[in-house]
Amino acid sequence: METIGEHRSFAGTQFVCQHQSQSTGTPMTFAAYVPDSAQDAPAPVLFYLSGLTCTHANVMEKGEYRRAASEHGVIVICPDTSPRGDDVPDDDAYDLGQGAGFYVDATEAPWSQHFRMWRYISEELPALVGDSFPADMSRAGIFGHSMGGHGALVAGLRLPETFRTVSAFAPIVAPSRVPWGEKAFSTYLGMDQDAWRKYDAVALIEDGAKTSEILVDQGEADVFLAEQLRPELLEEACAAASIPLTLRRHDGFDHSYYFISTFMADHIAWHAERLG
C-alpha cells in the first residue's frame, strides 16, 4: 500500500492510499481518516460506500465527517466505487461501468474480469485496513449513500459479524425492482433474477438475513425517491422480519452531499455508540 496524500484535519490525519487489488486486478484508491486517539488504543472503524459516479474523493471533500470521527475516535475508510483504468470495461451511461460497480462480483463478460467489488469491500479492503491501520476490526460498521447505501445494507445483512452496525443515506433498498438495479444486475450478473437476490437488501431480509438494527435518512425532495429508492419496501421488509429500522424522512432535502453532510455526524455518533 502506498500513501499518496496526507493532511492534518481536526485531531487526526486524512490519508489517501493506493494499492494493487487482487480482487479487481487493478490499482484501487481509498481515503482513510485516522483520529489521533487510535494511536493509544485500536479504534472502531467505519466503511463508507459512495454512490453512482463517485470516487473516494467525493465524500472526503464534501461529507464533513472528520470532526465527528475525531470526536468519537472512529477511523473512517472510503473506497472507490469501481475498478478504473484504460483496460477496464466502461459504458457511456453514468449508471454502468466505471464509477458504477454496484458492489457486486460480476459474472458476465467483459465485466467479470475486474468488477469484483463485493469481494473487495467484504474481504480484501477490511483485511488491508486491519493490517495497515490501528483499527479494531472486531468493532467495524458500514454505511453509504444511494448505490453505496445499497452496498452497505447488503454487507450489513450478509456479514453481520464483520459489519456490526449498518446505516445509509437515501439507499437503493431493492435494486432488483428499480431501473438502476435492473440495468446493472442484468448486465453484471445475467438474467437469472435468483442470482440477484444476494445483492438486494429487501430480498435478503425476505430470505432470512438479519442485522441488529438499521438507521436510514431520506430526503423528501430527492428526485430519485419514488422510482429508484423506494424506502417503503425496506420499511415493510424490516417490519415483517422484526428488524428494528429507524427511517427518518426530511422535508426539503435532496439527494446531494448537502443532505449527506447535514446528517453525517448523526450517523457517526450512532455507529460509535453501538461499536463502543
- Does residue 261 have an active-site annotation? no
The CA–CA distances, whole Å, from 38 to 7, 45, 47, 78 equal: 16, 10, 16, 17
Residue with cell 425517491: 225
- Does residue 250 have an active-site annotation? no
Which one of the listed residues 95, 105, 217, 222 is annotated catalytic? 222
Which one of the listed residues 21, 70, 122, 146 is annotated catalytic? 146
Which one of the listed residues 72, 145, 255, 267 is annotated catalytic? 255
The CA–CA distances, whole Å, from 168 to 32, 127, 172, 253 equal: 19, 23, 9, 15
Distance CA 188, CA 71 (A): 40
Residue type, 260: I
- Does residue 92 have an active-site annotation? no
Other CB atoms closer than 10 Å to residue 5's CB: what's the count? 14
The CA–CA distances, whole Å, from 234 to 146, 229, 259, 274 equal: 14, 10, 20, 22
Structural contact between residues 172 and 180, judged by C-beta atoms closer than 8 angstroms: yes
Catalytic positions: 146, 222, 255
